[in-house]
Amino acid sequence: MSEAFDIAIIGGGPGGYSTALRAAELGKRVAMIERDATLGGTCLNRGCIPSKALISATHAIDSIRHAGELGISATINGIDYGTLHDYKKRIVDTMTQGLAGLLAHRGVTVFRGVASITGAARPITVHIAASADGQGVQRSVRSDVPEDIGPSYDITAQDVVLAMGSAPRQLPDEPFRGAIIDSTRAMSMAMPHNAVIIGAGAIAAEFASMWNAAGCKVTMLIRKDRVLSGWDRRAGVTLTRELKRHGIDVIDRSTVTHIDTGVNMGALVHYTSAKDGGSTEHIAEGEFVLVAIGRDPLTSDGWIRDAGVTVDDHGFITTDGYGRTPVAGIWAVGDITEGHALAHRAFEQGIIAAESIAGLDPKPLDEDTIPQIVFSNPEAASVGLTATDAKQRDDLSDIKETVYPMMSNARMMMSDSGGSLSLVSGIRAQQPGVRVVLGVHMVAPVASDIIAEAEQLVGNHTPLSDAARLIHPHPTFSETLGETLLKADDRPLHTR
């Protein structure tokens, strides 16, 4: 007889574990199945957390390199990559072990193995097989110490939440091999001396900034005229300019044709450029070439479609705003659903799914309120609509874009960094006559922190006149948002 649960969650990343924690909090008996040896998914193990640990280290390097401009004499004698790796590992271990302890405290039963749905009628049957490394199925009950329970195991649940995550996308006809690496491998190795990065999104910009600060010669090959081409244009143009100013060679309007690799030869990336009509082939050379062109949802396993779950042409599982699939009792959250592949989006999806399963009445996910952040140098952050997007909406009118001159802020001047800030406002059909903040898009040294306030304004549909009355401490980077709000409200203080 199989073990019975209220909810079974397949995947232990941000979407999966947030579902588990909230469901357990609501009194549900929860099982979570993870194929990796540690919980946390890509974010904790191979993405958000280790990358930001390395970025923190390279920020220190960059600060030392520019200390002379402040009258401070300091030099960099070298980078101890062993110590740097230990620092990163210590941060990751602390986070993953803390997560395991929290799940155990909430009473979540954690299985290690490869899960699949073998019976979609309620109660839904979930089969757990041994992991790819040959380790049999393990179970942890109110403890982060696992016990072996055999080569396979079956459980049942009234509801199953799919949260399998995503994996780096490879170039067509150019699989990851040798010197052609993905972000996971890039995270585990020492900083290269020179490298080529193919891509223009968050991962590409972050690695470019990180490696550049560590002294690596970086070449970025991007398809369009700027990085972050899907963002507000001003933010993308500004970040592209700043990356170039820091010494990164950004080659825009380029198309990779093929890559040559070999033993001890690194990589030769052949590309054409729209600047010369694509008639001439160019070569970019690197010790490694990082392919950072996006991520694909892990939904190729046949059991997903066999269970009746709808998967679109891009591999995304179709859900409503609460995470429900068309199959009763099967839900999906995180990177396997269409939208921004971000941990904080998955967190909210998991909470909404857990509360919906428990019979509560949460609000559905609002994609317009999900902040995007790039931890580059400087940082970029965005939330809400661009002016172009807002003008295409039938439920919005009187769209206005307000641009703030960032260098009028004292802290920006002290930072020796360029930046930009655009605020989009308009009138919602649901709030006639009331101008509200619809979007904020910025590039600044601490944009990742400031965007949280902007998200509150956008998400709460705060009237612009009220938002402009909020006081921002002086002198801070946050004043840039305060001054922009005043300007948008036609009451500029330190700007025209």
Q: 1 pLDDT band (50/70/90 cuts)?
A: low
Rounded distance, CA 213 to CA 210, Å?
5
pLDDT for the residue numbered 58? 85
Q: Which of 105, 258, 340, 474 is catalytic?
A: 474
Q: Are residues 185 and 334 in the same domain?
A: no
Asked if residue 54 belongs to a domain, the reply is no
Q: For residue range 118-177, what is the model confidence (pLDDT) as tens digits?
A: 988 999 999 999 988 888 999 998 776 889 999 999 999 999 999 999 999 999 989 999
Range of the domain at 229: 169-293
Shared-domain flag, residues 229 and 150 = no
Cα distances from 355 to residues 160, 196, 431, 457, in angstroms, run: 14, 45, 28, 25
In terms of domains, do 341 and 395 share one?
A: no
AA letter at 438: L
* 444 within domain boundaries: yes
**Is residue 216 located within the same domain as residue 353?**
no
Question: What is residue 111's predicted lDDT score, i.e. its pLDDT?
Answer: 97
Q: Is residue 246 part of a domain?
A: yes
Is residue 495 a part of any domain in this protein?
no
pLDDT at 75: 84
Sign for the CA dihedral angle at 201, 207, 213, 215 comes to negative
Distance CA 84, CA 92 (A): 13
Structure tokens at 19: 């579902």
For 458, half-sphere exposure in the C-beta direction (CA atoms, 13 angstrom radius) is: 25
Cβ within 8 Å of residue 300, ≥6 positions away: 315
* Contact in structure between 288 and 186 (CB atoms under 8 Å): yes
Query: Could you say which of 332, 367, 402 is where a domain stops?
Result: 367
Q: Do 280 and 303 sit in the same domain of this protein?
A: no
Integer Cα distance of 3 and 464 in angstroms: 54
The answer as to whether 145 is a domain residue is yes
- The total domain count for the chain is 3
Residues 189 and 288 placed together within one structural domain of the fold: yes
CATH of the domain at 421: 3.30.390.30
Same domain? For 324 and 253 the reply is no
Structure tokens at 102: 């929290």
Residues 308 and 160 occupy one common structural domain: yes
Q: Quote the CA–CA distance of 411 and 477 in Å, as a whole number.
A: 6
Structure tokens at 333: 């959250």
If asked whether residues 150 and 180 sit together in one domain, one would say: no
193 and 241 part of one domain: yes
Q: How far apart are CA 458 and CA 372, in angstroms?
A: 13
In a domain, 81, yes or no: no
The answer to whether residues 325 and 383 belong to one domain is no
Q: For the chain, how many residues are written?
A: 496
- Look up the CATH number of the domain holding residue 156: 3.50.50.60
What is this structure's pTM? 0.94
Q: Is 212 exposed, middle or buried (0-12, 13-18, 19+ CB in 10 A)?
A: buried
**Does residue 111 sit within a domain?**
yes
CA atoms within 13 A on the CB side of 359: 4
Question: Is 401 in the same domain as 439?
Answer: yes
Q: Is 246 a catalytic residue?
A: no
